[in-house]
Amino acid sequence: MGAEDYFSIPIFFIIFRETTEAAIIVSVLLTFLSQVLTEDLTIRKRLARQVWAGTFLGLLASLAIGAGNLYATNLWAVSEGIWVGCFSFVAVLMITVIGIAMLRTNQMQEKWKVKLAKAMDSENAQGLGNQSRKYALFILPLITVLREGLEAVVFIGGVTFTEEPKAIPAAVLAGLGLGWLVGFAIYRGGNRMRLHQFFVGSTCLLLLIAAGLVAKGIAAFEADRWNRLTGAQSDDEGTYDPRVNVWALKCCDPKQPDSAWWGVANALVGWSNIASYWTVGSYILYWGLVSAWLIRLKTKKEKVLAAEQRPLLGSSAATTLGSGASGSNSGAQGSNQDEITNI
């Protein structure tokens, strides 16, 4: 009996890959709260509880669905592409908004403290939009963990047929532990970084994940459509529409259990060994839209600063002119006095 009978390497990398992406989101949110709400501990604890509640609820929901798949019809596998695509785009929207908001927090820290305080005020939270903002830090980890958990359930379900049952628990625990260790390292490192460094770094990381999710969401919808056309199963590997294919590599497949770090690259930046015009185009389009958004914010900020500086420049110029005029008047009065004295 070898080590593979007690520890499944494929399952370890599947769990590690899915856990890492969720852990990054959670750690960035917690670090954000620690950096912004340095004085108001009450609000920070309440918002941190939202993050953890969403995380654990997403984990429990994915475990419940995974357990249900053992005894009921696998509704997830039947429409896996649609589920993954929908979860991906919901996560993209929330991650992008929060990521860009973090980028502006360094200049708007006091305003963000007020916004977070108002978001927690139940009396001011009326309507669907306000309610969604109030629980945004609960919804984002919930959606992220649920999506990653469901993906892990599907992938592990395809691997367990060839693995020893006793090799699964240790691999799952090790993958969970190492993934959350990565998140903890990001959390600790973020707390020791300067505010500007943390906000820029976390925004770049979140936008990379969001861009990858855009491509993965499009790929999931494409795979679902192609599988329905051809009658293939959702877990059939290597099936793709050749009419829109850009590349299809036989190596570097992140969905393979032994893909090792290609799976991590898939979780972080959305790497895939199969790409289409739609996935590549959506990836480029996302970065184009985000870049345009950031340029617009920068231009707007420069206009605001210029508008704020105009009154200051006007007042300083008026002060200079006033000083010059008073000096001229004093000189004129002095010369007149000299003339009177000479007379």
Q: How confident is the model at residue 143 (pLDDT cuts 50, 70, 90)?
A: confident
Strand partners, 276: 245
Which three-class secondary structure state does DSSP give residue 340?
A: helix
Helices (H) and strands (E) counted in the chain, each on its own, are 11, 2
Helix axes 80-105, 195-230, angle to 10 degrees: 160
126 and 119 Cβ atoms separated by less than 8 Å: no
Give the model confidence (pLDDT) of 300-320 as tens digits.
Answer: 888 877 776 766 555 555 555
Q: Is the overall model pTM greater than 0.85, yes or no?
A: no
Compute the chain's Rg from CA coordinates. 29
Render 3-40 in DSSP notation, one character per residue: GGGT--HHHHHHHHHHHHHHHHHHHHHHHHHHHH-SS-
Most confidently predicted of 50-64, 190-204, 311-325: 50-64
Q: What is the identity of the amino acid at 118? A: K
pLDDT mean over 238-260: 80
| Lookup: tokens for 14 | 């599947």
Which three-class secondary structure state does DSSP give residue 232?
A: coil
Q: What is the identity of the amino acid at 224? A: D
The residue among 165 and 88 whose pLDDT is bigger is 88
| Lookup: tokens for 278 | 């739609």
**pLDDT value of residue 157:** 64
| Lookup: tokens for 313 | 């420049």
pLDDT mean over 223-229: 86
pLDDT mean over 185-208: 78
Q: Please determine, for residue 342, whether its predicted confidence score (pLDDT) is greater than 50.
A: no
Nearest to 30 by CA among 180, 212, 164: 180
The residue among 114 and 20 whose pLDDT is bigger is 20
For the chain, how many residues are written?
A: 343
Give the model confidence (pLDDT) of 125-135 as tens digits.
Answer: 454 455 556 67
**pLDDT value of residue 293:** 92
Render 251-313 in DSSP notation, one character per residue: S--TTSTT-THHHHHHHHH---SEEEHHHHHHHHHHHHHHHHHHHHHHHHHHHHHHHHHHHHH
Q: Rounded CA gap, 196 and 207, in Å?
A: 17
pLDDT mean over 162-167: 69
What are the distances in angstroms from CA 300 to CA 110, 303, 342?
A: 19, 5, 64
Q: Rounded CA gap, 92 and 104, in Å?
A: 19
Q: Rounded CA gap, 326 and 34, in Å?
A: 55
72 and 146 Cβ atoms separated by less than 8 Å: no
Domain ranges of the chain: 7-300
pLDDT mean over 178-197: 78
The residue behind tokens 């943390």 is 198
Percentage of the chain modeled with pLDDT above 90? 10
DSSP 244: S
Phi-psi domain of 290 (left: phi exceeds 0; alpha: psi -120 through 50; beta: other):
alpha
227 and 219 Cβ atoms separated by less than 8 Å: no
**pLDDT value of residue 279:** 94
